[in-house]
Amino acid sequence: MVAIVALALAAAAALPAQNIEACESVPVYDPCEIVVELGASDAAEHSTPVTDVELRAEYRSPKGGRTKVMSAFWDGGHRFVLRFSPDFEGRWDYRLISNVANLDRRTGSFEAEPATTPGFIEVFNTRYFRHPLTNTPHFWLGDSLLGLAAMPWPEFEATAERRSEQGFTHVRALAVPPLSASRKAFSASGEPDIEHFRALDRRVEHLHRLGIVTDLVLGNSGDELDELFPRLREKDRYIRYLCARYAAYSVTWQILLEWESHEAAGKLLKQLASSLRKHDPYAHPMSTGATVTSAPLAEDGWQDYFVQNRVDPALAAIEYELNRAPFVNTGIGLGAGPAAARRQAWNAAVRGHYVTLSAEDTSMESPFAEQMVPLKQFFSQSRYYDLQPHYRIVGGAALALHRVPRYSERTVGIEHVVYAEEPGLIELVMPKQEYSVSWYNPANGAWFDQKKKFKGDRYRSRTPDDKHDWVLYIRREGKKQDYNKSFILESKPPRFREVEYSPSELPFEIQLPEGNELQAGRAHEFNATLLKNTIAAKRTVWLWMAEAAGSARGARVLGTTQSGSFNIPAELAQSYPTTLSVRAIGLDGAGRLFEAFRTYSLLAPE
C-alpha cells in the first residue's frame, strides 16, 4: 500500500519545511514516488526550476547494500517527482542530493513487498529474454501504438486490456510526437509539455500493471532529435528526463524509429546510448528502430537486442546466425493483410526472431492482432527459450531443441517446430528416437494429433491439406516435461556458427562490376555463382552488404537474392572518394556461413 509520510531530516538542525510526500511501501517492481513541492523561498531562488534545480536520490538496496541513483523529473510549476522501483524485497533507505539546501541530504526509507507484476526483463542466454526476479522466460509479442500519449483514454484502455487478453507482452510507442504533429512535446526553450508526459505516464503505468512492456522510441529520426535538441548536452538532459519518468516502469528503449537517414547515425546513437546507460539505473534493454535492420551497428557494442523492420527470410536467417543477441522484427503487417501478417510473423519466429506488429489497424478488435494469438499460444507451450534454427528440413523452416547428455556423445532430440508457409511435402531429419507428432493450424490454433507415434530419424509427410500454411510439431512430450521440471530456465549456451572466409572453401564465387570504381546512387549488377552441386549449396540464401570506410553512417543491406542489381545509397559516405567494401554472405542448407568480399573506390553520386 502507498501512504503519505514525512521525510526525516539528515541533520539535527531545523530546516524550513518543504511540502514532501513519499511512499511508505510498494510491491517490488512498482514505482515508489517522492513528490517535492518547493517552498516559497526556494521557488523564488530557483525561478526556472526545470533547468535551475538539481535533485536526485541514492537508494540503498537491502541485498548487499547496492546503491542505485535516480534523478527527479520536473512535473510543472515547482513540483518535482522521484520515481523509483525496488528490485528486491525488504527495506530500502534513500538520501536526497540537491542544490536546494533545504532538500539536500534528507533521508527516508520504504518497504518493498512481494511483486504483483512480472517485473522488468533482461537478455538471457544471448538470444532470449527473461524476468530475472522469478527466473521465468519472457516471450516478446508486440503491437505498435506509436501515438500512445494522444490516444483517447477509453480507446487506449479497451485496446490495452484486449492486447493483454490476447497474450501481447509489448507495446511500441513514441516518447515524443513527430515534429510534423500539431502538438509539441517540448517548447522552443526546451521546456517539457507536462500534459503530454502526464498522459504518457498514465498509459505506460497502465501497461505496466497489465504486465506489458512499453518499448519507448526516443525520437522519430536522428534529424528530428537534432532539431529538437541541437547540442549534446540538451540530448543528455532529454534522456535523463525520460529515464527519470519511465525507467521505473517495465520498458525497453528503441532510440530512433529509424536510424538510416541520419548523416552520422553511428556516432549519434553511441552518444544517446551512453546517456541511457548513465541515467537508467536498471539498464533496461536498448536498441534502435530501423528502416531495414539495426544489426549493421552491432560492432559499436551498445545494443542489447537488434531490430529488423523488413520481413525477409534470408535477411532474418543470416543476421540471426551472424549476431549474438535477440532479434525483434517490427515489420510485421506493414503493407500486408491479416493473413499475410500471420505468415510474416511465423516466418520470422521460426528463424529465431520475436515479432512486433506494425499494421495500420491498431483498433481493439484488429484482425491483425487476432492472427498473432495462435502464435503466442503455440510457443507458450514449448521451450521457446531453448529453440534454435534447424536446417535439415525440406518444405519449410524449422526450430529444434537438441541436447547431448552428460557422458554421452549421442544427440537427443526434444522438440522440433516446422513452419510450412506453402502446404505440401515436408521432410525433417532429426535424432533417431520415438516422437509424438501433431499438426497445428496457425490461422485458428486448432491441433490435429497423429495417433501413432513416429519412430525414426527422417519424418516425411504432406500437410493435412493444401488450403493454407501449417505448423508441424514433433517432440518427445515426456522428456520435454522432465526438462521443464528439472531445468526450469537453465539451458546450454546457444550454438554459434563461424563464418568461413577462405577462398578455397567457398562454395560460390561472386561477380561484381569490373574495374576499381563504383558510383554511389547508381544501380550495379551482382551475381553469385555456385561452385558445388550439393543439395546444401543449392539451398543457399544470400545477403549483400556495403560499407564505406571511416563513415559514421553504418553498413547497408544491398540485396538478399543470388543475383540482380543493387543501388549504392547516395548517403552511404560522408565524403568522396572513399573505400567501399561489398560483402556477399551465404548461408547454405546445412547452416554453414560463407563470406566473400571485394573493395572499390566509391565515387560521389552525380
Query: 326: pLDDT confidence band, cut at 50, 70 and 90?
Result: very high
7 has pLDDT over 60? no
Residue 487, pLDDT > 70, answer no
Q: What are the start and end residues of each CATH 2.60.40.10 domain in the chain?
A: 19-113
Mean local confidence (pLDDT), 43-49 = 89
| CA–CA dist 402, 415 (Å, integer) | 7
Secondary structure class of 75 (helix, strand, coil): coil
Element (H, E) at 207: helix 194-209
Q: What is the pLDDT of residue 24?
A: 95
Those residues whose C-beta lies under 8 Å from the C-beta of residue 492, and which sit 6 or more positions away, are: 386, 403
The contacts found for 486-494 with CB under 8 angstroms, 24 or more apart, are 488/135, 489/124, 489/130, 489/135, 489/136, 489/137, 489/385, 491/125, 491/383, 491/385, 491/386, 492/386, 492/403, 493/125, 493/126, 494/125, 494/126, 494/127, 494/324, 494/388
Task: Please tell me the predicted confidence (pLDDT) of residue 491.
Answer: 67
CA–CA dist 341, 359 (Å, integer): 8
Q: Which pTM value belongs to this model?
A: 0.94
Mean pLDDT for all residues in the chain: 93
pLDDT (average), residues 104-117? 95
Task: Give the residue-averaged pLDDT of 350-370.
Answer: 97
DSSP-assigned letter for residue 541: E
Residue ranges, comma separated, of all CATH 2.60.40.730 domains in the chain are 499-603
466 is written with which cell numbers?
Answer: 493444401
CATH 3.40.640.10 applies to domain 499-603 = no
Confidence of residue 484 (pLDDT cuts 50, 70, 90): confident
CATH class of 122-377: alpha beta
pLDDT the model gives residue 425 = 97
Q: Give pLDDT tens digits for 175-222.
A: 999 999 888 999 988 899 999 999 999 999 999 999 999 999 999 999
Q: Does 374 score more than 70 pLDDT?
A: yes
CATH 3.20.20.80 in the chain, residue ranges:
122-377
- Using 50, 70 and 90 to split pLDDT, how confident is the model at 488? low
User: Picking from 13-17, 113-117, 167-171, 539-543, which range would have the lowest pLDDT averaged per residue?
Assistant: 13-17
Residue 1's pLDDT band (cuts 50, 70, 90) = very low
pLDDT tens digits along 529-577:
999 999 999 999 999 999 998 887 889 999 999 999 999 988 888 889 9
Cell, residue 149: 500519449
Res. 310: pLDDT tops 90:
yes
Q: Which one is predicted more confidently, 399 or 17?
A: 399
Tell me the C-alpha distance between 285 and 299, whole Å: 17
Percent of the chain with pLDDT over 70: 96
Q: Say what the pLDDT of residue 18 is.
A: 64
What is the CATH topology of the domain spanning 389-487?
A: Immunoglobulin-like (2.60.40)
What mean pLDDT comes out for the span 65-81?
A: 95
User: What average pLDDT does the segment 499-508 reach?
Assistant: 93
> Nine-digit cell at 254?
528503441
Report, as an integer, the average pLDDT of 438-443.
Answer: 98
Q: What is the CATH number of domain 19-113?
A: 2.60.40.10
Maximum CA pair distance of the chain? 87
Report whether pLDDT(14) > 60.
no
The dihedrals phi and psi of 279, each to the nearest 5 degrees, come to -100, -15
pLDDT tens readout for residues 447-481: 999 999 999 999 999 999 999 999 999 999 888 77
d(CA 138, CA 118): 9
Residue range 134-155: average pLDDT? 96
Rounded to whole angstroms, the Cα distance separating 553 from 261 reads: 9
Model confidence at 2, in pLDDT bands (50, 70, 90)?
A: very low
Residue 61 in this model has a pLDDT that exceeds 60: yes
Burial class (CB in 10 A: 0-12, 13-18, 19+), 15: middle
Closest to 80 in 3D by CA, of 88, 90, 65, 70: 70
